[in-house]
Amino acid sequence: MKPRQHGYSLIEVLIAMAITSVVLLTVITLFYMGRRNVYSGKQMTAAAAMGTQIMEDLSTMTAQDLGTNFNMDDSTTLGTVTLQNVVGASGGQISFDNSIGRDSSACTVATSPLYTITNCGNDPNGFMAKWLRTLIPQANKTSVMTNPLIGIVFTPRNPTIVSQKFTTAQFIRARVYISWQEGPTRRRYAFFDTTKVNR
């Protein structure tokens, strides 16, 4: 008669497989989340660098230069500028009343015969095209950020009076935003603010 052979029972094997599955699932989830966070951090870094460059360009402009460079004067209609799909905002929207919006959504990205970004709308001196060219090198809209958008919201006002004409307002607040796609319905935004005194 053979001595009794020791081994694992079916229940012990099933428990070991369940524990291993839970551990592997956790590790895979950590890798996935880590990759997504690294990618998100890379895009936020690119947005911060782009925002800094834009703020440096705006710092050299007077209030009159803003009007010239972004096609604004007293006949420019003030309205509500609304940004959509903003994470954390009430209803996913941020609105700026009595403001003028300029963004890169109207820019045309051409790949033939040469790579160019043109026709950015209210951008007669090409600042918006220059900034967008940094985020879309060689017409690839996903190489730096996914579907990037650059915009500025100008709000002319006096300290206690809103809805001022562009040339008569004492201050012009410029809120720069860099936006990019982080999911099917989610856009990330990075905001940068500056104020110009109208002299």
pLDDT tens figures, 120-144? 888 899 899 999 988 888 777 888 8
Instruction: Give me the pLDDT at residue 19, please.
Output: 93
How far, in Å, CA of 24 to CA of 40, rounded? Answer: 24
Read off the pLDDT of residues 145-175 as tens digits, 9 standing for 90 and up. 888 999 999 999 887 777 778 888 888 999 9
Mean pLDDT calculated for residue range 180-187: 81
Contact 188, 41 (CB under 8 A): no
Mean pLDDT calculated for residue range 14-20: 92
How far, in Å, CA of 17 to CA of 12, rounded? Answer: 9
How far, in Å, CA of 154 to CA of 100, rounded? Answer: 5
Q: Is it the case that residue 179 has pLDDT exceeding 90?
A: yes
How far, in Å, CA of 41 to CA of 48, rounded? Answer: 10
What is the percent of the chain where pLDDT is above 70?
A: 96
Q: What is the mean pLDDT of the chain?
A: 86
Domain boundaries, the chain: 38-197
State the alpha helices, DSSP H only, in the chain. 10-59, 63-69, 127-135
How far, in Å, CA of 175 to CA of 191, rounded? Answer: 7
Q: Is residue 177 very low, low, confident or very high in pLDDT (cuts 50, 70, 90)?
A: very high
**Strand spans (E) along the chain:** 79-83, 94-103, 108-110, 116-118, 149-157, 171-181, 187-197
Could you tell me the pTM of the whole model? 0.79
Cα–Cα nearest to 154, from 51, 79, 54: 79
Distances (CA, A) of 67 to 55, 74, 118, 162: 16, 9, 20, 18
Q: Is residue 61 very low, low, confident or very high in pLDDT (cuts 50, 70, 90)?
A: very high
Q: Is residue 4 very low, low, confident or very high in pLDDT (cuts 50, 70, 90)?
A: low
How far, in Å, CA of 38 to CA of 158, rounded? Answer: 43
